[in-house]
A and B are shown apart, each in its own frame.
Chain A
Amino acid sequence: MAKINYNKEKTGRILGGSGPRDIQLRQRLLHQEVIKRDVEDTRPTMVIEDMPKMQKVDLSQYLPLKKVKQKIDEAVKFTVNKYEEILNDLKNQLKIKDSELDKVRSELLMKEELLKIKEDIYTNLQVKMDKIYNRISDGSIQSFVGKNRPELEDGIFIDPLEKSDNQSLDSHIDIREEKEASDRDMKGDLNKLRSLLKK
């Protein structure tokens, strides 16, 4: 904040107490006095009314301290017993469940063993079926069912052409030969084929 210079020369004259700060101070003091008077005015009204007198307690109607302690001990014991019973019940149930679980486990093991046996049987059967299939494919196994049963010979072909059908035709067809450009070695190929077919 800028400082305001007081340029007036000091004359040594004493101030008369009539400045604004003096007036302000006087007003504040006046106000404090008013407050003080108001507080004092309220003092006579702050009178404490008569308090009710304390009645004398009759202790004969209460149990003695020893008895109370005994009763508390009994209640604690009762509660402890009750919860111990519940805990025992739960332990028994847990034992039953454990034995049931053991039973299920042993059944599961038994079933796993059975499954393994079945898988072995299935694998053996698969191998046997493959062997039989291969033997059927190569003709070494043939069906014997109904071997001598009479069969209907329905594979009959009748030529739809008459013998004279060709006679009226005069062919002018001349087809030229084509030799393969790659010069394929048929004799070599035939030998390969014979060895592959074991002929």
Chain B
Amino acid sequence: MPSPIPVLQQGSVLIASVQAVLDDEDWVRLRGQLADRVASGRASGVIVDVSSVDVLDSFATRMLRAIAEISRLRGATTVIAGIAPEVAFAMVQLGLTLDGISTVLDLDAALAVLNRRTAGGDAG
């Protein structure tokens, strides 16, 4: 089954914009898809844009953490962009964290973070 999330590559950065409502299987598929693309595209950065996502529950958060960790092990930095304020509130109440993962307000900020890392050498 095709993934509902298109993954675009811009230079060495992969961009996944989550537009649809994802179920658990879709999240697992996105994780696999990004892991493959990080390897095959020699990506140094991964952006997951969740600005259209209305619920980030414990499973989705676990998948975001997995995406970040798999990418990190492959030498790529992950940035999560656009967590809505209401979603952030619910995540905190639930007890979910994205410790150690860069989170920014939008796609532009995510690209800026990754460009800075590339330009200045990744100290992290």
Partners in one complex: no
* B interface residues, Cβ below 8 angstroms from A: none
* A interface residues, Cβ below 8 angstroms from B: none
